[in-house]
Amino acid sequence: MSHPTLPAIEVPPWETGNVQPLLHEIGHALRELLNNNKETCIDLHALPMAPGEEARLVEALGKGEISVQLRALGKSRIDETKYPGVWLITHFNANEEVVGKFIEITRIPDLIKSQREDIAAGLLNLEDELHEE
């Protein structure tokens, strides 16, 4: 069945309008970090985002001075944004698929610090090496 077609209507790209409020939330969290030393973590996957909105958020946050690449269970990228104290963390699995995306408002993300258990295991390995020589 054919119909006379209706005049086309331009649909603007879908927007959730979540980018701007999120930037305000980050600003608020940054003030908390400065005044009360309170850290915040935001799960970006928990928020509905339209295609392109996440990219615009990342663009708005920009690139800062530090970029860290973690290799544990696949790669992870930990980047400080152009606003010191705001970190963008992206976890990939071994297939290079994103499994988690977070914004952390902290002086340094815990994940960067060497972990107690890993230091202990590393020390054992080092002692083994020294023993063998």
Partner 1 sequence: MNIEAVLLWIRGPGLGLALGIFLFGMAIKLLEIFLLGRKKNLAAVRSSGVAAGFRTILSRSLPPDGNILRRPRFTFIFGYAFHIGLFVVMFFLAPHIEVSHALLGLSWPALPTPVVDVFTIISIIAMMALLWHRLTSPLLKYLTTPQDYLVWALTFAPLLSGYMAYHHLLLPYTWLLSIHIGSVELLLILFPFTKLTHAFTLFIARWYTGMMAGQKGVQS
Partner 2 sequence: MKNDPSLLEVLRQQGVSRRGFLKFCAATASLMALPPGMAPVIAKALEQAHRPSVIWLSFQECTGCTESLTRSHAPTIEGLIFDAISLDYHHTLQAASGSAAEEARMAAMKANKGEYLLVVDGSIPTADPGYSTIAGISNLEMLREVAADAAAIIAVGTCAAFGGLPHAKPNPTGAVAVSDIITDKPIINVSGCPPIPVVITGVLAHFLTFGTLPKLDHLGRPLAFYGNNIHDRCYRRPFYERGQFAESFDDEGAKKGWCLYKLGCKGPVTYNACATTKWNNGTSFPIESGHGCLGCSEPNFWDLGGFYNALSEPSVNTGNAAAFGLVAGAAVGAASGIMARKEKDNTSHAHQKVTVNDLKRGESQ
Q: In the complex, which residues of this chain contact partner 1 (CB under 8 A)? A: 1, 3-4, 6, 9
Cα–Cα nearest to 98, from 131, 27, 36, 49? 49
Please say which residue, 12 or 133, places its beta carbon nearer to partner 2.
Answer: 12
Q: What SS3 state is found at 47?
A: coil
The contacts of residue 52 (CB under 8 Å, 6+ apart) are 13
Q: Which does 42 bind (CB under 5 to 8 A by kind): partner 2, partner 1, none?
A: partner 2
- From the CB of 106, what's the least distance to partner 2, in Å? 12
Cβ–Cβ < 8 Å for 90, 100? yes
Enumerate binding residues for partner 2 (CB under 8 A). 1, 3, 5-6, 8-9, 11-12, 14, 41-43, 45-46, 48, 50-51, 70, 72-73, 76, 91, 93-95, 97-100, 102, 110-111, 115-118, 121
Q: Which does 130 bind (CB under 5 to 8 A by kind): partner 2, partner 1, none?
A: none
The contacts of residue 94 (CB under 8 Å, 6+ apart) are 73, 74
Cα–Cα nearest to 84, from 57, 98, 64? 64
Please say which residue, 6 or 72, places its beta carbon nearer to partner 1.
Answer: 6
Cβ–Cβ < 8 Å for 42, 23? no
Q: Which does 4 bind (CB under 5 to 8 A by kind): partner 1, partner 2, none?
A: partner 1
- From the CB of 47, what's the least distance to partner 1, in Å? 20
